[in-house]
Amino acid sequence: MIRISRFREFVKRFIPQHQRRRLSRIVQHLNRIFQRFTVGYVRWPQSLLVFDSSIELCGHEGLIDALKKAGAQCKERGQSILISSLSEIKKVSISLASEYPHAFDLEIFPEICMEVTRGVHNNGFATELITPDMVDTLQMRMLVSNILSTYRIAPRIYDVLRLRCGQSYYFALVIEHLEGGVPNVEKGLEFVSKIKRIIEREGLVVQRGVVDAALGLLPPNFGGKILEDASGNCYLVDCSDLTLKKYDKTMMDYLDSTRRLAQMSDSEIPRRPNFYYQSIPFLEPAGKRDMSSRVGFLEGMLERNGYVFDRSKVLDIGCNIGMFGAYMLHKGAGWYTGLDQPLVVDGGRRILYYGGYSRFDLIASNLLVDDVNCILPTHEFDLVLFLAMREHIGLPEWLPSLSYKFLLYEGHVTESIEESLEFLTQNLPNIRILEEAIWTERDSSCRPVVLCEGLDV
């Protein structure tokens, strides 16, 4: 295999600078053509969590009866059943109630059983092709609602999960908990025109007819789909009739428009004029760091030391566009929290949504000045990632006060393993070194990597 560094040397030596730019454009164009054929393939689908239900799962009517018998209050919403408070959700599944770091509602779909869920990708028995199969599914509803949530006009959907009782499975959505009522006609109509503008901008379409009639958003009660909260913000609480029509094109256009946000480009490299720091393996765009090989290396180190991915809680300090999150969620993590600069996390959040990921928070922060303890939704983690960050932020003051089982550290290319060990042991008194290694990949020279165990704070 030709090493990229050799190729780079060759190009610098034999191709004049003005020709390199042209070559870069040609390579970029060829890459785009290649992506058109490969974009739909999800290599790291988010794992589907399964929770045991303490209530017998037996069709729509049967489920309502069983919920009533268990004293769990619920509301019928068309084909689904909505359970809105944590105390009621606990009656269905105790482990589920404590899994997510935000207040949520549970919407159960008794009619969606295994046979008709071919479109629900990421479930291990259906398909990994997301482009056509996501249409009309809970996954698509999750994607649309999450895209609209970036404008704060729809709730976030934190997950699509399976509830299991004996041999039966039901699908359910974990939806951000919102409280409020129907807005007045004037406010509701104003909100509908706002939604229409955003829907058009985002390349979303309704299945039939024009937006307000097809979505049932007509006054006076707007189909019960618009909710105004106590601060006067309105939300479209049911996005089930909306779909992203040109899924791959929208996604690739978005990547093109945001590439500059997360780039760490080397204009000497004859690939793209700008490319991401982290490559995006599930969409193919290139990056300075090759995520596929990186995660393979880190995973080996974690597994050798007894790390359990399943339902783990991960914090990534300086997460860039969140590609470690994508991988952790693929491996079964319960929740991923990433911290980085505002523009970078805005880009990353979208990319993760487009990739079908939902169990995460990407939080904007200036890690040099913010007290991160005040902005984190939880403070206990199974794994903290501190990768290629020392040069940027040193060791943040708040890091020693976090509680974690494992901390994975990656140093910079100029750093020796001895320097890394000294840096860690001097700054973090509550750790034990488990394993150290030297890592090298495509565009990046050798870097020290250290896995530590977190001792009680």
Ligand X SMILES: C[S@@+](CC[C@H](N)C(=O)[O-])C[C@H]1O[C@@H](n2cnc3c(N)ncnc32)[C@H](O)[C@@H]1O
Which residues contribute to the site for ligand X (CB under 6 A)? 277-278, 289, 318, 320, 340-341, 344, 365-368, 387-389, 392-393
Cα three-residue angle 92-97-101, rounded to 5 degrees: 160
Distance in Å, CB of 457 to ligand X, minimum: 23
Residues in a beta bridge with 255: none
Q: Which is nearer to ligand X, 170 or 324 (CB)?
A: 324
DSSP structural state of residue 90: H
Q: Which is nearer to ligand X, 155 or 338 (CB)?
A: 338
Distance in Å, CB of 275 to ligand X, minimum: 14
Torsion of CA 209, 210, 211, 217, to 10 degrees: -90
Q: Which is nearer to ligand X, 79 or 366 (CB)?
A: 366
Distance in Å, CB of 289 to ligand X, minimum: 5
To 10 degrees, what angle do helices 17-38 and 247-258 make? Answer: 150
Q: Is the distance from CB of 333 to CB of 309 less than 8 angstroms? A: yes
Tokens of 257: 């428009």
Tokens of 191: 């909100």
> Coil, helix or strand for 407?
strand
Cα three-residue angle 73-159-130, rounded to 5 degrees: 135
Tokens of 395: 């060791």
Q: Which is nearer to ligand X, 47 or 278 (CB)?
A: 278
Q: Which is nearer to ligand X, 226 or 291 (CB)?
A: 291
Q: Is the distance from CB of 288 to CB of 8 less than 8 angstroms? A: no
Distance in Å, CB of 392 to ligand X, minimum: 4
CA–CA separation, 290 and 278 (whole Å):
7
Q: Which is nearer to ligand X, 162 or 447 (CB)?
A: 447
